[in-house]
Amino acid sequence: MIVYKSREEVGTMDRCNREVVRILSAVAARVAPGVSTGDLDRQAERMCREAGVKPAFKGYRGFPCVLCTSVNEEVVHGIPSPRKVLREGDIIGIDFGIVLDGYYGDAAVTVPVGRVSPEAQELMRVTRESLRRGIAAARAESRLSDVSAAIQGYVESRGYSVVREFVGHGIGTSLHEDPQVPNYGAPGSGPVLKEGLTLAIEPMVNAGGPAVRIHPDGWTASTVDGSLSAHFERSIAVTADGPLLLGGEMEGL
């Protein structure tokens, strides 16, 4: 069941996502060669504690950490570890969410570790742009699949592939609400988008094929062919004036 939010609820979600953006930006700024993904997770947890907000992921279905940190060929849901040290030329996807006043915020960004290859830079640029195009398509009276088609069409026109196994989602008083938001599909189908709908749109884009595999840890997903993957995500609200980016602008996104 799709739950539409009042203006007051959208305002609360905007405040929640401002904290997401603030903390995620600070964590992303710390990314550098020699930093471990465990270091990043500890920073995020400390900032949540100082802000008086609850991390959304830690404990969710048994997930052990505050962040999801996915490096290079890892697509999503990588588990931070002090043993996973970032190296020059890596790229890292950082996914982060919180709960504030009973509402969830969720965002993700992929950032370079030092200097990265032109191929990695282009993959990140295309994924980031596909998110922007998906958000732009989330307008009242459009169809849900218009968002999906905008993402897929742009990604595939640049020679990349979108992951099928994982999708965006509604968000609100639960981290994952209806409807699911695939990053692929033909336009003109699915629910009509209405004012008050809040979505987490999150393209996951592979440099190679779309297939993924799950690691023995039960969480980390990687590309089957070992190609690089990038992930960007923002939470938005559908309004009469167009899509509202909850939490405001974020550097690099």
Give dist(CA 146, CA 183) in Å, integer: 10
Give me the pLDDT at residue 125, please.
Answer: 98
SS (H, E, C) 126-181: HHHHHHHHHHHCCCCCCEHHHHHHHHHHHHHHCCCEECCCCCEEECCCCCCEEEEE
Q: Which domains does the chain have, with CATH numbers?
A: 7-245 (3.90.230.10)
DSSP string for residues in 87-137: -TT-EEEEEEEEEETTEEEEEEEEEESSS--HHHHHHHHHHHHHHHHHHHT
- Phi and psi at residue 69, in whole multiples of 5°? -125, 115
Give pLDDT tens digits along the chain (253 positions): 999 999 999 999 999 999 999 999 999 999 999 999 999 999 999 999 999 999 999 999 999 999 999 999 999 999 999 999 999 999 999 999 999 999 999 999 999 999 999 999 999 999 999 999 999 999 999 999 999 999 999 999 999 999 999 999 999 999 999 999 999 999 999 999 999 999 999 999 999 999 999 999 999 999 999 999 999 999 999 999 999 999 998 876 6
DSSP state for residue 5 in the 8-state scheme? P
The residue behind tokens 């596909």 is 130
Q: Record the tokens describing residue 202, joined without a space.
A: 């999150």
Give dist(CA 252, CA 250) in Å, integer: 6
